[in-house]
Structure 1
Amino acid sequence: MRKLFLFAICTLFTHMAMSQTNLITGIAARKTTSLNGAWQYIVDPYGTGFYDYRYQERKENDREAYWNTDEPVNKTERKEHKFTDKYILQVPGDWNSQAEKFLYYEGIVWYKKSFDFTRTSAANKVYLYFGAVNYEADVYLNGKKLGKHKGGFTPFNFEVPDSVLKATGNYLVVKVDNTRHKDEVPTVNTDWWNYGGITRDVQLIEVPQAFIQDYSLHIKKGASLKTSKNIPVEGWVQLNGGQSSKEVIVEVPELKIKKAFPVTGDKVAIQFNLPAVQLWSPQTPRLYTVVISTNTDRIEDKIGFRTIEVVGKQILLNGNPLFMRGICIHEEIPRQIRRAYNKQDALQLLGLAKELSCNMVRLAHYPHNENMARTADSLGILVWSEIPVYWTIDFNSTEVFEKARTQLAEMITRDHNRASIIIWSVGNETPVKPVRTNFMRNLISAARSLDSSRLVSAALEVNYQPGVNKIDDPLGEYVDIVSFNEYLGWYAGLPDRCRTAKWEFAYNKPFFISETGAETLYGFHGDSLTRWSEEYQEWFYREQVAMLKRMPDNFAGLSPWILCDFRSPRRNNQTFQEGWNNKGLIDQQGRKKKAFAVLKAYYDEKSSTPNP
């Protein structure tokens, strides 16, 4: 049975690795119309708007379906659904933070937006683009279903047929369902808040009939960086709409680069040399404007050029040894108890990481909004980006594998031109067993097939044994960096256990501590032995830092858990948690705990070394 599953997984992976996502990238560079703002809503816990009383999916023209108009044709027609301005949700945004009744709500909410629309050119195609909807979205425009998407943290788009879109009185309805299921990614069991809703931007995108769908540019793998001149760059441009153009032109105006490449198919290979370039790094987060054009379309972007690789026991950024002074971040603004989604939120969270003297963040445990990676580009912060393959998803299911692979593809497609992202992660704390290892190994292969210019990892667990802590997860054979979550002093003994800790590594690779931390309630004080006190967390970090200074030379950094306290229904100590995971170095009100200074002092010391 297991062999049959592995064969199915490999067959599915081989097929899917050859396909292309239909996601349009570089949205900021395109002609867009925002559909953000106030949306009317209906709460529908029984799915009445989707199913009839026999629990069969309603027909498209069923006038009782909530995706169809709520206006009766005459006074005799019975209508049992109605969207009104009495019930409004702001988009983007989660519903949990917008009304008390939604705090713990998991289920279906119907969103409706009315709008008028005039194309800038009658010949243009129009796409409807969602930054993210958590978790399942069914999208209808003027009673016609445009499509369905699963995955709460990745973007998707649908082409809008000309016959459906009107100049006035468009009726856009989205069925949003954040119900947790065993066969979804993530599964039913997580340690974060299940914020529901249309949590990121919604836009109409206009493109010509033949347009540039996506592109990728990066320094050629293995290129010599002994000088800053004649550095080879490679990549591709993905075209959509046929070969109406004879050539694709790539420009880097500041470097006086303008190159033309012949179009021989939908995907055009790009190769050229940079005559001189300032490499992107945390110290010099240099971004260059790149212009890509055909005879019908033109897009602009700002990207950085850098290399990331593993050589022996070291991670090298631009050929130089890298030590990652990291911190984990959830996509949440604690003081407002809501999903983060805009540039101001990104500046706030990444600004706090900079204040901690970080040069790296781990965006846990799912792809964050696009503003995070773009802001990290501009601030010079390295990024670990992850899909929510978390704890106990169904590793026996080929359908679950495809859901995970799709989210991986959508994450990589959206962000593969962000210089800040150096690590794609395929999961967190998954149980060691053969079927899981093969599942994760195939995700690693999928990540590399989609983007070979970055490192791939996963957050593993420590095999705590008497007298020794072993890092021997078999998945370590396949990752570029052996990353693991360790909680000596919180889940394993007291912090002084770090003093006698012995480590054994099964792999001769760089290793990275992807989590460590202890929980405390801000303002609760006691001696260092008192759990939940600030003094206990402070002691925990002091012992951790002392242990880290004794680590072997392949220790590549850490990202402690976590920057800010965050909501979690799993945390039910009504004195010290009350639905919060309080392992943050910063509390729910933005106040720094005592341990913040301990970690910052260690990072300040590390930042004074020659490593980036």
Structure 2
Amino acid sequence: MKALFKIFSVSLIALLGLSMAYAQEEYQQPVISSPWSADVNKDAPHPEYPRPQMEREGWVNLNGLWDYAILAKGSDMPQNFQGKITVPFPVESQLSGVGKNVGKDNELWYFRKIDINNNQRKGKVLLHFGAVDWEAEVFVNGQSVGSHRGGYDPFYFDISQALKRGKSQEIAVRVWDPSDDGPQPRGKQVKKPHAIWYTPVSGIWQTVWMETVPETFISNLKTTPDFDRNLIKIKPELNGNPTGTKVKVTVLAEGSKVAESTGDLGDELEIPIPNARYWSPESPFLYDLKVELVKGNSTLDQVKSYTALRKISMGYDSNGNQRMLLNNKFVFQYGPLDQGWWPDGLYTAPTEEALVFDIVKTKEMGFNMIRKHVKVEPARWYYHCDKMGMLVWQDMPNGDHGNAWEHRLGIVGKGTERDRTAESEEIFRTEWKSIIDANYNFPSIVVWVPFNEAWGQFKTKEITEWTKKYDPSRLVNSASGGNFIIDGAKITGDMIDLHSYPEAVMPDPGIYGKDNIIVLGEFGGLGLPIENHTWQEKDNWGYQSFKNKKELSDRYAELIETMEKLIPKGLSAAVYTQTTDVEIEINGLMTYDRKVVKFDEKLMNKLHDKLYKIKVNLK
């Protein structure tokens, strides 16, 4: 997000000068914290099962107190440590108990002992990490079991061969994160926070856990709804020696079996659903799945999952404009830009209740969509969106900035593409694929957004076309508010996305609407600082600031009134900036600590309901 237009009193130069206090070794700890900060159990934070799309018994949560050390890059594994860190909170955060900077010249080490009993050794032992920013090497009993690069995707290692005799085992993790000194995806993180750029997030920031699996086990599921044919496609992936085995899938609705299918390994099973029930924001119906690996009459492995019948597509309205369709009907999609930051946990919500709170409040305010902005959430966040019927646009976290961008009111973005190194390109491609793979099964996700505002944007046409081919079940917003690659009037990807602050505007449908879905990818940014609920006492900002809630609400109502007139002309979706205040930004629907909602929820519902009731006829 940027202040893009001259109508703002705050210039970009002035904006960049507003920095929170910064020290080389320690980050300023906030004077505010969320209501859930006091609820964090340091010995067992985030105890919930972390992978709801593929749940099995026989797992152990490894969150809690670990030893840590920050050492010069390239140092040997430490024998002594500097203190305790609460996993999975990033080391810079208040809830980690550390609050220190790491930087490109240092590495962060984690260490803890675990117990593994004889029952857990019957098969393979897998060590899982929800997310570690950015490069991680994992050691078990001093032996390296694998490395991973990528701050936003889950990974695991089979540690069976590294286990020693007896119960007690040792785990160590080495992490290096260059933040904005490296080319890797990093979202809004910078080593010196200022303006719209925030405190770095280094190290483990999602749940660490261990599970025991059979020698041959189900390693992944790929679930694709076929709405028009009322069937669900499921392709299991296996690890081990599957000779003589088959896969059995049972589909359940509210606990009762509605369909079942058995197939050979490697097959994609197509399972017809009788009396199909569909998923939508108004009725988010989910089917439960039981997936079994069977051999004769024996079940070798079993996982629980879920799916939904829903379709996201595009089609023409009666005026010849492309529209975004849900289940073959026009549904105006409207939601906030959601960055998922916390004053006490940074990237990591304090508790499960806190994680769910933002989605609940978004729903209560009458939004039906969330744009998850240059961050990827833990799997449980998407699980709750699935359950509550919240549509999600998922951004790829940006990195490797440097290309130019020009954007003027009502004009699509134009600029240069970043000339990345081969290493930088490979890092992006690898992590983008991993993010899509990890989140493919969540029905709430309906749009992929590879680039935002030309931040590190490169080879746009190639990346967009790869994304569309790799996941044809969703729409692709190639460059939200960014540098569009235009072939005539056709934008690469499915939509043209304009950013405008604060006004609600849209690209000219007469030029772009015949080939592209028209969306307003960011607008609003109306600011209201609430005393005793800001990251710092002064120098906070919004794109347009107000003195009280009434002024704020009245201006918001004006924006909605303007948007009402745009929908019949061709607008299919809009994104309001933003869910909460973040650090020195005070343009949230709620304060950064989530203790104050700045808008009346009933009024918001009334305003938004008018948007959804606008009738658009389809061809």
Q: Quickly name the TM-score band, shorter chain normalised.
A: 0.7 to 0.9
Alignment match, 1:280? 279
Aligned mate of 2:468, from 444, 448, 469: 448
Q: 1:183 to 1:260 in 2, by over 3 A?
A: same
Deviation, structure 1 residue 483 = 2.5
5+ residue gaps, structure 1, are 1-23, 52-64, 71-81, 225-230, 464-470, 490-494, 568-579
5+ residue gaps, structure 2, are 1-50, 191-195, 295-299, 317-321, 403-417, 532-541
Q: For 1:544, give the aligned amino acid.
A: L
SS at match of 1:145: strand
Establish whether residue 331 from structure 1 lines up as the match of residue 340 from structure 2.
yes
Deviation, structure 1 residue 255 = 4.3
Q: List aligned pairs for 1:85-484, cutoff 5 A.
A: 87-98=83-94, 102=99, 105-106=102-103, 107-120=106-119, 122-180=121-179, 181-186=181-186, 191-220=197-226, 223=228, 231-253=230-252, 254-263=256-265, 267-295=266-294, 296-312=300-316, 313-334=322-343, 339-340=348-349, 342-390=351-399, 392=401, 395-430=419-454, 436=457, 439-461=459-481, 477-484=491-498
CA contact (8 A) 2:113 2:171 kept: yes
Identity %: 21
Q: For 1:446, give the aligned amino acid.
A: W
Deviation, structure 1 residue 359 = 0.9
Q: 1:240 to 1:446 in 2, by over 3 A?
A: farther
Aligned mate of 1:33, from 60, 65, 88: 60
SS at match of 1:89: strand
Q: Distance in 1 between matches of 2:207 and 2:425?
A: 27
Alignment match, 2:517? 510
Aligned residues: 515
Establish whether residue 546 from structure 1 lines up as the match of residue 561 from structure 2.
yes
Deviation, structure 1 residue 383 = 0.9
Q: Distance in 1 between matches of 2:97 and 2:56?
A: 38
Alignment match, 1:604? 609
Q: 1:363 to 1:166 in 2, by over 3 A?
A: farther
Q: Distance in 1 between matches of 2:352 and 2:280?
A: 21
Q: List aligned pairs for 1:511-590, cutoff 5 A.
A: 511-523=518-530, 531=545, 533-534=547-548, 537-538=552-553, 540-551=555-566, 552-567=568-583, 580-590=584-594
CA contact (8 A) 1:562 1:583 kept: yes
SS at match of 2:427: helix
Q: For 2:89, give the aligned amino acid.
A: G
CA contact (8 A) 2:391 2:446 kept: yes
Q: For 1:317, give the aligned amino acid.
A: L
CA contact (8 A) 2:86 2:97 kept: no
The alignment's C-alpha RMSD in Å is: 3.3
Alignment match, 2:409? none
SS at match of 1:550: helix
Q: Residues 349-377 of structure 1: CA distance to partner in whole angstroms, max 9, x if unpaired?
A: 10110121111111111211111100001
TM-score normalised to structure 2 length: 0.75
The higher-RCO structure (CA 8 Å, 6+ apart) is 2
Deviation, structure 1 residue 380 = 0.9
Deviation, structure 1 residue 603 = 1.0
Q: Residues 198-250 of structure 1: CA distance to partner in whole angstroms, max 9, x if unpaired?
A: 111101122111111112222337x25xxxxxx23324121221332432111
Q: Distance in 2 between matches of 1:529 and 1:28?
A: 43
Q: Distance in 1 between matches of 2:556 and 2:145?
A: 51
Q: Distance in 1 between matches of 2:385 and 2:143?
A: 39
